[in-house]
Structure 1
């Protein structure tokens, strides 16, 4: 694994994993999505896997004529990010 994915695998909480997922560049998501998925699955972080899928879909999405993402992709990203934040907060309170 590359250093950024190694950092993810060393994180101890879902809150830390969620922060990593929201900050990592799209290029890393595109390049390393299989390794990222394995780390998230091993940690039991389903909300992270769903968010990863939404980001990967957005990276690979055909853009609208003005270059924007289709609303379906934006909605999926927003919805999975809400779930990601809820899971991160639950993890921070010990409800993981």
Structure 2
């Protein structure tokens, strides 16, 4: 069975980096985690390398220690995801306008996910 899940097919069918970014930001986290390799493959083939920072930041945020009394994430997981999402949107909008621009990668890569 080589057919993609319909939700991942939406990513594969996206025409712009902004569409891919919006898909990543709205996709259920369970799908992002379970199909990480497939999603990264689709992004790589689309030249959407700025999205990898978002996926890495998501992994960092969701791997944080949680409060044993509430189950909520400690630290700044929400800030990490917010900033990573904003960087993803900025990178994708810039890249859609300036396809293959040498400076485009700097928009999303000026800090690692753990620096956010």
User: Match for residue 83 of structure 1?
Assistant: 87
SS in 2 for 1:71: coil
Partner in structure 2 of residue 67 of structure 1: 71
Question: Structure 1 residues 21-30 or 71-80, which shifts more?
Answer: 71-80
Secondary structure in 2 aligned to 1:46?
coil
TM-score, structure 1 length as denominator?
A: 0.82
- Alpha-carbon shift at residue 72 of structure 1 (Å): 4.0
Q: Which has the higher helix share?
A: 1
Q: Which has the larger radius of gyration?
A: 2
5+ residue gaps, structure 1, are none
Task: Give the conservation status (yes or no) of the 8 Å contact 1:30–1:59.
Answer: no
Quick one: higher RCO (CA 8 Å, sep 6+), 1 or 2? 1
Contact 2:54 2:84 in 1 (8 A): yes
Find out whether 1:47 has 2:50 as its counterpart. Answer: yes
Taking structure 2 as the reference length, the TM-score comes to 0.70
Q: Which deviates the most, 1-10 or 59-68?
A: 59-68
Pick which of 14-23 and 75-84 moved more.
Answer: 75-84
Contact 1:8 1:39 in 2 (8 A): yes
Q: Is 1:47–1:80's contact at 8 Å kept on the other side of the alignment?
A: no
Q: CA RMSD for the aligned pairs?
A: 1.8
Structure 1 outlier segments of 4+, above 6 Å: none
Uncovered stretches (5+) of structure 2, i.e. residues with no partner: 100-116
